[in-house]
């Protein structure tokens, strides 16, 4: 065999060996993990319609307290409710918006395929009882449809630095990927409910009642401070407030403070709820159908006391009355509804504790170091830890009840009185009207008009009354089952005393330049048409006539018999004498004046005289002469 053949043989064998080796290595090489095939694909490709969502559940784990907390909003019997207390939620639109942000979330780079590394990435299932680790638990987010089928289910882990994503895995998978997560999610209770406590407009409030008292001590040794009752009223929405019992000489209503109180009451927001004990009615009284033993009554009483409320015997026998630790207010609106708001105890807790009370609420001493009073140097919004994070929030229990306030609807229309028959003719007004002309017969009689007006007014009043009753029932169906929780800050803005709502009246400065101080202003008539209630318009008497002026306290009608010499003593003011009118002679005016005083007997002027631009002397005159330049009641010529 020549050399070329040998060389070719060796070369062919080498090539064949290389091919065999390459084929063998390729055949035995491990394939790409199937998890890598998921990169770039959606976690839940079948979830595309956010309006399918009927429930959202968020489970978190507190590593410090080792507590698991669950927020769930779900549609139950056509209504959305929030767990754990099943409080009604306004969640249809918000749930759809939240579910939208779950649609189309895609997997990024794969970082782990082993469950042993879940703690490292913070994606341990918070619902897992098998894993004993207290660290590395994530937040589980689940969206379901009305049938309970899972539409999306994520466990969210730690966030990467520089907002480069989060570690994320499906609830039923071990693989951990990096994902861009932009979920519009809130587990704050007030974001899912109608947080407005009262839902009224400030301008609709026509009466405000403040019952300012405090309950102190511990059960069963409780003491109640004397109640300061303030009743504010106004006729119109923008009208001034009046207060029963105010000393008008030295005090006045602080209008700005009262308006601010009404606004702050209307702007109170719910930050949490607690279920009310069974056996307490919507109007906050013991339900005899439920409470049939002293033991049951004690159970309810203790629950109330823990939250700052007590039930005592009312003014009427057999009636119960609810009292609150920090007093109560009532707002009455022009649609016939009264809102009673009772302010209970202060407590502190985390946001979840405030909202649902899951881990137990801790009472705060009203006067202690945790007091919400700003004077103690503590913030009413909560306490801060060393790292600046809010560790607790201060909040207060509130009871709200609605009741009918029919007095706000105005007077009940009264039917027209039936006409009495004439004693001479025996005819009633209706008979007399029926005897008129044919033209008048086609028109309704006065009695018919009165009846028609009454029926219209009565129908309108009944409509308002029915609407008010329906609204009270609707409101109590909302208020009836719950203690509400408001922030301590909201309470501080509505806890006002009489000193805040009533202010001292400023003394009116005396007019030292007026020559007639305390009497009729110079250049004006002292006739009755200018007399204002409570305003003394009599001129000062001269010293020699002082005793006579003090003795002259009889009604103005007696002036008709006054001495003519005294009347002549007052000169006629230039340009303002009786002759100025030009309508009547001086003698005629004098006779008319004396005739009116005699016939009236009360010294009041005939309203018609005001139209003639004259005064009739019906006001008592000073025995002394009037000051120079002042108008006289009579022309000296009349004497």
Among candidate residues 479, 196, 486, 503, the one with its CA nearest the CA of residue 326: 486
Burial of 522 (0-12, 13-18, 19+ CB in 10 A): middle
Q: Given a cut of 80, is residue 201 above it in pLDDT? A: yes
Q: Where are the domains of the chain?
A: 36-192, 205-359+391-409+472-502
Alpha-carbon distance of 346 to 391, in angstroms, equals 16
DSSP letters, 53-119, are --EEEEEEEETTTTEEEEEEEEEETTEEEEETTTEE---HHHHHHHHHTTTT-B---EEE--GGGHH
C-alpha distances out from residue 163 to 29, 122, 139, 363, 593, Å: 37, 16, 18, 40, 97
Model confidence at 570, pLDDT cuts 50, 70, 90, reads very low
Cβ atoms of residues 145 and 151 within 8 Å: yes
Residue 215, pLDDT score: 83
Tell which residue, 569, 523, 522, 524, has the closest CA to residue 544: 569
- DSSP assignment, residue 14? H
DSSP letter at 448? H
How far from chain centre, in Å, is Cα 372? Answer: 21
pLDDT of residue 525: 42
Q: Quick one: which of 161, 145, 154, 144 has its CA closest to 181?
A: 154
| Range in 40-54, 296-310, 493-507, 552-566 the model is least confident about | 552-566
Identify the pLDDT of residue 423. Answer: 56
CA distance 332 to 208: 6
CA 633 to CA 614: how far, in whole Å? 9
Say if strands 320-324 and 67-76 run parallel, antiparallel, or are unpaired.
unpaired
Q: Could you report the per-residue pLDDT of 434-449, keeping only the tens digit for each?
A: 555 455 556 778 888 8
pLDDT score of 47? 94
Supply the DSSP symbol for 146. T
Asked if pLDDT for residue 617 goes beyond 70, the answer is no
Mean pLDDT rounded to a whole number for the chain? 75
List C-alpha distances in Å: 577 to 59, 521, 614: 94, 17, 10
Residue 184, pLDDT > 60, answer yes
For residues 377 and 170, the model is more confident at 170
Residue 482: which H helix or E strand, with range?
Answer: strand 482-487
6, pLDDT greater than 50: yes
List, for residues 106-133, the tens digit of each pLDDT value: 999 999 989 999 999 999 999 988 777 7
As a whole number, mean pLDDT of residues 59-75 equals 87
Do you know the residue count of the chain? 639
Tokens 């064998």: give the residue: 13
Going by the DSSP 8-state scheme, the letter that residue 629 receives in this structure is T
Cβ contacts of 389 within 8 Å, gap of 6 or more? none
Burial of 536 (C-beta count, 10 Å sphere; 0-12/13-18/19+): exposed
In 3-state terms, what secondary structure has residue 11? helix
* pLDDT (mean) for 560-574: 40
pLDDT of res. 605: 41
Q: C-alpha angle with apex 92: 91 to 98, nearest 5 degrees?
A: 75
Say what the pLDDT of residue 296 is: 85
Note whether 368 and 349 are within 8 A (CB).
no
Residues sharing a CB contact under 8 Å with residue 323, sequence separation 6 or more, in sequence order: 213, 215, 224, 309, 310, 311, 312, 342
- In whole angstroms, give the CA distance from residue 494 to residue 329: 9
Q: What is the model's pLDDT at position 425?
A: 56
The answer to whether the CB of 96 falls within 8 A of the CB of 151 is no
Residue 49: its pLDDT value, please? 94
pLDDT attached to residue 598: 43
- For residue 174, pLDDT over 90 is answered with yes
pLDDT in tens, 275-284: 988 888 887 7
CB–CB of 552/620 below 8 Å? yes
First to last CA, the chain: 177
Q: How many angstroms separate the CA atoms of 278 and 289, rounded?
A: 11
User: What mean pLDDT comes out for the span 217-224?
Assistant: 74
Tokens of 463: 């409509």
C-alpha–C-alpha distance, residues 352 and 197, integer Å? 19
* pLDDT per residue as tens digits for the range 377-435: 334 444 444 333 445 789 999 999 999 999 999 999 999 887 665 555 555 555 555 55
Dihedral (Cα; 276, 277, 282, 285), 10-degree rounding: -130
Give the separation between CA 287 and CA 302, rounded to whole angstroms. 16
- 146-152 contact pairs (CB < 8 A, 24+): 146/52, 146/54, 146/75, 148/55, 151/44, 151/47, 151/52, 151/53, 151/99, 151/102, 152/43, 152/44, 152/47, 152/99, 152/102, 152/103, 152/105
Q: What is the percent of the chain with per-residue pLDDT over 90, rounded to a whole number?
A: 38
């Amino acid at each position: 065999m020549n050399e070329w053949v040998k060389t070719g043989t060796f070369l062919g064998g080498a090539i064949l060996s290389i091919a065999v080796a390459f084929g063998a290595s390729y055949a035995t090489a491990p394939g790409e993990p199937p998890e890598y095939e998921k990169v770039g694909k959606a976690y839940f490709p079948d979830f595309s319609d956010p309006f399918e969502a009927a429930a959202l559940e968020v489970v978190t784990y507190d590593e410090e307290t080792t507590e698991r907390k669950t927020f769930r909003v779900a549609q139950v019997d056509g209504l959305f409710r929030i767990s754990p207390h099943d409080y009604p939620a306004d969640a249809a639109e918000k749930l759809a918006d939240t579910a939208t942000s779950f649609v189309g979330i895609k997997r990024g780079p794969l970082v782990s395929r082993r469950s042993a590394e879940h703690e490292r990435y913070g994606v341990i299932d918070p619902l897992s009882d098998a894993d004993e680790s207290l660290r590395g638990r994530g937040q589980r987010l689940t969206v379901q449809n009305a049938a309970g089928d899972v539409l999306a289910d994520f466990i969210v882990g730690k966030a990467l630095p520089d907002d480069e994503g989060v570690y994320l895995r499906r609830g039923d998978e071990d693989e951990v990927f990096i994902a861009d997560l932009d979920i519009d999610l809130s587990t704050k209770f007030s974001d899912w409910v109608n947080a407005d406590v009262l839902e009224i407009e400030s301008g609709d409030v026509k009466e405000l009642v403040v019952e300012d008292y405090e309950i102190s001590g511990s059960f069963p040794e409780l003491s109640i401070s004397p109640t300061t009752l303030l009743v504010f009223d106004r006729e119109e929405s923008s009208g001034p407030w009046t207060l029963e019992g105010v000393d008008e000489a030295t005090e006045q209503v602080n209008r700005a403070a009262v308006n601010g109180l009404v606004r702050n009451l209307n702007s109170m927001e719910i930050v949490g709820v607690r279920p009310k004990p069974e056996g307490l009615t919507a109007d906050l009284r013991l339900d005899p159908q439920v409470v049939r033993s002293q033991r049951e009554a004690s159970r309810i009483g203790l629950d109330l006391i823990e939250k700052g409320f007590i039930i005592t015997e009312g003014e009427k026998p057999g009636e119960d009355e609810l009292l609150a630790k920090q007093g109560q207010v009532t707002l009455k609106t022009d649609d016939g509804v009264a809102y009673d708001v009772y302010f209970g105890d202060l407590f502190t807790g985390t946001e979840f504790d405030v909202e649902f009370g899951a881990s137990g609420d801790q009472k705060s001493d009203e006067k202690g170091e945790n007091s919400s009073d700003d004077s103690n140097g503590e913030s009413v919004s909560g306490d801060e830890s060393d790292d600046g994070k809010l560790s607790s929030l201060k909040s207060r229990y509130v009871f709200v009840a609605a009741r009918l306030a029919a007095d706000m609807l105005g007077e009940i229309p009264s039917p027209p009185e039936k006409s009495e028959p004439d004693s001479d003719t025996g005819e009633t007004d209706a008979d007399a009207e029926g005897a008129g002309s044919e033209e008048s017969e086609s028109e309704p009689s006065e009695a018919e008009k009165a009846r028609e007006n009454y029926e219209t007014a009565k129908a309108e009043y009944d409509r308002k009354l029915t609407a008010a009753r329906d609204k009270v029932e609707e409101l109590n169906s909302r208020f009836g089952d719950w203690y509400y929780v408001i922030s301590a800050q909201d309470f501080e803005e509505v806890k006002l005393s009489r000193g805040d709502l009533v202010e001292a009246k400023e003394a009116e400065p005396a007019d030292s330049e007026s020559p007639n101080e305390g009497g009729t202003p110079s250049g004006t008539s002292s006739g009755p048409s200018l007399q204002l209630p409570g305003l003394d318009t009599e001129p000062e008497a001269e010293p020699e006539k002082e005793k006579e002026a003090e003795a002259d306290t009889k009604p103005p009608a007696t002036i008709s018999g006054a001495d003519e010499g005294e009347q002549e003593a007052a000169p006629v003011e230039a340009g303002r004498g009786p002759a100025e009118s030009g309508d009547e002679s001086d003698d005629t005016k004098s006779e008319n004046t004396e005739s009116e005083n005699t016939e009236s007997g009360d010294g009041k002027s005939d309203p018609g005289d005001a139209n003639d631009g004259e005064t009739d002397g019906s006001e008592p005159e000073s025995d002394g002469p009037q000051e120079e330049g002042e108008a006289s009641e009579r022309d000296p010529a009349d004497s």
